[in-house]
Homo-oligomer: A and B are copies of this chain.
Amino acid sequence: MSETTPAPEDSGRSRLSRRALLGGAGAGVVVAAAGGMAVGRATAPEPEESSEIVAFRGERQAGIVTAAQDRLHFASFDVVTESRDDLVAMLKAWTVAAERMTRGEETVENGATGLGNYVPPADTGEALGLSPSKLTLTIGFGPGLFGPTAAFPGRGDRFGLADRKPAVLQDLPIFAAERIDPLRSYGDICVQACADDPQVAVHAIRNLARMGFGVVAVRWSQLGFGRTASTTQAQETPRNMFGFKDGTANLRAEDTDLLDRWVWVDAADNPPGAQWMTGGSYLVARRIRMDIEPWDRANLLEQEQIIGREKNSGAPLGQKKEFDTPDFQITSYGAPMIPRNAHVRLAHPDNLGGVQILRRGYNFTDGSDGFGHLDAGLFFIAFNRDPQTQFIPMQQELSRRDAMTEYLIPNGSSIFAVPPGLADGEWWGQGLFES
C-alpha cells in the first residue's frame, strides 16, 4: 500500500460508498484484480450509503479500532491440510466471501437460493434479510502456521513459512494462577467476527468454517454477548461481569500517536522475512472464567479496593468522575486509597514502564460449570505491537500481584499475528504467502 495514499480509517468506518465504487454487487469478486488502492478512494465524496456497513478494506483491518460492536463470535481454526495451494485457495475464497458478508451480502451472489436445485447452497442463509449490522471480520495467523511451537513441538514447517515468522509470535508463556485448556487455546488461524446482530456474526463464522472444510477445522469458538471495551471516544464504557465499568483507560481510535506507539507494528520492528506484518498488530485472546459467586459475596469496599475504582461512577478511588486521572499517592488512614494490589494501579502504565495495549473483549456466559454455577466471564481480546514487551510482562505482573486474580480462572490462551488491511484486489494472507 502506498504511503502517500493512506485510506481514511475513521474508527473503521468508510467514508465512501463501496457499492458506488465497485459498480454493483457482482463486482464484489475482486480477488483477480490487481493490487493497489483505487485512485478515487480518498476523494470519493459520498458518505457510506448504509451506516450499518464498516469498510472491509483499508490501511488497517477493520475490527481493531473500529467502534466495538455489541456482539462477538470468535473462531480459532487448525489447518488440517499440508497443501499450501489448498490453503491459499481457501484464503482467497474467504476474502471474497468475507468482504461480501460485511456488506450484508451472501457469500456469493444468490448463494443461498439462486444457484440451482441440485447443488448445495453456497450460503447457509440464516442472515438473509438481516442488516450488515456493522460486521467486521478480522483475520490472524497463529504460531503453529509457521512450524513447531511450545504447545506443538512436533509440528513441521508445513507451508514453507518458517522464515516469515515474526520473532515475537510465540505461544504465550504459562502465567501464574491459570488453568489452560488446550481445547480452548491455540490455533493456526483466527477470525474475529464482531457485529451488532449476533446472528450476522455467527453466520459469517459458520460460512467461513464451512468453506474451509478439508483445509481448516474449528479448534474452538467463543460467543461474546456484550462488549467490555470502548474503542472510540464516543462510546460509553460498558460493564463486565464483576459489575464494574471496564476499559475506561483503554486506548481509542482517536489516540493515533499512541496507537502508532502501542498497537501498530512498524517496519523497523520486523526482521526482513516478517515485513508482511508492518502495519498489523498482535491479537491476544484469553478466556477468563470469573468466579462470580465468591465475588458476589465480597463486600462493596473489597470489590472497589480490588478494582481501584468506584463501582457506580467508575471513578478512580479518591476521585469524582470516571475519566479523572487516578492519583496513586492519596492516602486514607495512612494507607493508599488505591491499594497496592488494586487492578487499576497494577495495570496502569505508570506501573508497567509506560506500556499500554488496546483492549476489545466481550462478556460471555456458556451454560453451567456442572457444579451449580454459571460458566461466565470475560473473553479478553487485546491488540499490541509487541506481545513480548507489552502483553506478556503486563500479564506476568498482574497474574502475580493483582488482587483480582483470586476471582479469575483463565482457561484459554492464544496469540495471533494480525496483518495490516487489504488494498483493493488483495486477499487475506497475501502479504504473508507472496512477500
Contacts and interface: CB of A to CB of B under 8 A. Distances in A.
Interface of A: 71, 73, 75, 78, 80, 112-121, 123-129, 183-184, 197-199, 202, 205-206, 209-210, 213, 217-223, 225-226, 236, 239-244, 292-293, 296-301, 303-304, 310-312, 363, 365-368, 370-374, 376
B206 A226 contact: no
24 contacts: A71-B225, A113-B311, A113-B312, A117-B299, A119-B299, A120-B299, A121-B243, A124-B292, A124-B296, A125-B244, A128-B239, A129-B239, A183-B368, A198-B226, A202-B226, A205-B374, A206-B292, A210-B293, A210-B296, A218-B373, A218-B374, A223-B225, A223-B366, A225-B225
A120 B297 contact: yes
A199 B218 contact: no
How many identical chains are in the complex? 2
Listed from nearest, the 9 A-B pairs whose CB atoms lie closest are A125-B243, A217-B372, A117-B301, A113-B312, A198-B225, A199-B226, A126-B239, A218-B368, A124-B243
A300 B121 CA distance: 6
A366 B206 CA distance: 12
A185 B223 CA distance: 22
Contacts of A126: 239-243, 363
Given A121-B243, A124-B241, A221-B365, 10 more contacts: A80-B372, A124-B292, A124-B296, A125-B242, A125-B311, A126-B242, A197-B226, A198-B198, A198-B225, A218-B368
